[in-house]
Amino acid sequence: MTRFLKCDIASLIIDCGHCIGRMPQIFGWLNERQQSINHLTIKYEAERDVEDPDFLLKNMNVIECFFIYVGTLPDGMRPLNPKFRCDFLSVTDVPSNNWMCLNDISNSDCKYIHLGASEFTPTELSTFLKSWRNGRNQRMEYINAN
């Protein structure tokens, strides 16, 4: 349909469980046809194919809203160190899988941040707020972590 209308895809909601192993192809196709996407919602619950979230986080240019729900990841998964650049970021990580940390959020460029089901310590949150006051993630206006 988008090829027929010759318009960009503005919003995409995808459950990675329905296309395990094909995420690089899907997002590679999307990146070839347009430079960015306004709204992206990802639900990731897989115990294999670690390259899927890694590829996604390194290759997608989300402009406005990026919602990520992570249910399960492979055991022993290494940190992905994502750098988010969007207006609104919502990450729900149940249970905490250690694929990202607050330092990744402070290195990002987002106005509004929601971290659902986060397991950050008071020390980590204090360090994050100090880094923000010292100039990291300067666009941030609001953060909610629960």
- Predicted confidence (pLDDT) per residue in 29-86, tens digit: 888 888 899 999 988 876 655 566 777 777 788 999 999 888 776 666 677 888 899 9
Region 123-136: what's the mean pLDDT?
90
pLDDT at 105: 87
What is the Cα–Cα distance from 146 to 134, expressed in whole angstroms? 24
Provide the strand spans (E) within the chain: 11-15, 37-44, 62-70, 85-93, 109-116, 142-145
pLDDT at 55: 75
pLDDT at 52: 66
pLDDT at 13: 92
Region 10-32: what's the mean pLDDT?
84
pLDDT bucket at 122, cuts 50 / 70 / 90: confident
pLDDT at 134: 93
pLDDT at 37: 92
Percent of the residues in the chain that have a pLDDT greater than 90, as a whole number: 29
- How much is the pTM? 0.85
Region 103-130: what's the mean pLDDT?
88
Residue 129 vs residues 21, 89, 93, 105: alpha-carbon distances, Å: 37, 17, 20, 11
Please check whether residue 20 is in contact with residue 49, taking contact to mean a CB–CB distance below 8 angstroms. Answer: yes
pLDDT at 95: 59
